[in-house]
């Protein structure tokens, strides 16, 4: 209700003061443009210009970073290759040492088997001689026993 009372006193009919108001608004816009909006717009444009990487300093820094990154990647690749080569050479040396030890052990075993076989052959020959002598003795004894009893 209070609003209705104020609405009845408001005059919406334009009079001569409207031109003064329009002039004051135009002067205020002109002053704000000169003192506030233009400097801010210049600063914003400069920031946008530098932010986009258009600066020569930024371009040189980016090129330097990319070249250093590629050098790092190349160095890392070379270091890995050297490491793999060292591992491979160590593995080959270990395999060669193992093979040499295996061959040495095979030779030792073959020599041992050969000496043991020759020793075994000697023992067999001795056993055969001993058995044949014992067999002759037993045969003589058996034949003498047979002849005594007959």
Query: Of the given ranges (91-95, 107-111, 138-142, 144-148), which has the lowest mean pLDDT?
Result: 144-148
Q: Do the beta carbons of residue 88 and residue 80 sit within 8 Å? A: no
CB 59 within 8 A of CB 53: yes
If phi over 0 gives left and psi between -120 and 50 gives alpha, with beta otherwise, what is residue 142? Answer: alpha
* pLDDT number for residue 9: 64
Q: Is the dihedral of CA 121, 123, 124, 125 positive or negative?
A: positive
**25-53 per-position pLDDT tens digit:** 999 999 999 898 898 988 888 887 777 65
What is the model's pTM? 0.42
Report how far residue 71's alpha carbon sits from residue 79's, in angstroms, rounded to the nearest whole number. Answer: 12
């Amino acid at each position: 209700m209070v609003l209705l009372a104020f609405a009845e006193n408001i005059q919406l009919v334009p009079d001569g003061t409207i031109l003064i108001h329009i002039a004051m608004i135009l002067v205020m816009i002109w002053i704000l443009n000169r003192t506030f909006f233009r400097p801010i717009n210049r600063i914003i444009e400069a920031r946008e210009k530098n932010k986009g990487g258009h600066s020569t300093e930024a371009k040189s820094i980016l090129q330097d970073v990319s070249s250093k990154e590629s050098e790092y990647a190349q160095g890392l690749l070379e270091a890995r290759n050297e490491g793999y080569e060292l591992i491979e050479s160590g593995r080959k040396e270990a395999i060669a040492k193992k093979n040499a030890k295996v061959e040495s052990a095979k030779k030792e075993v073959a020599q041992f088997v050969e000496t043991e076989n020759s020793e075994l052959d000697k023992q067999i020959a001795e056993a055969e001689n001993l058995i044949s002598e014992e067999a002759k003795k037993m045969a003589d004894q058996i034949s003498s026993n047979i002849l005594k009893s007959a």
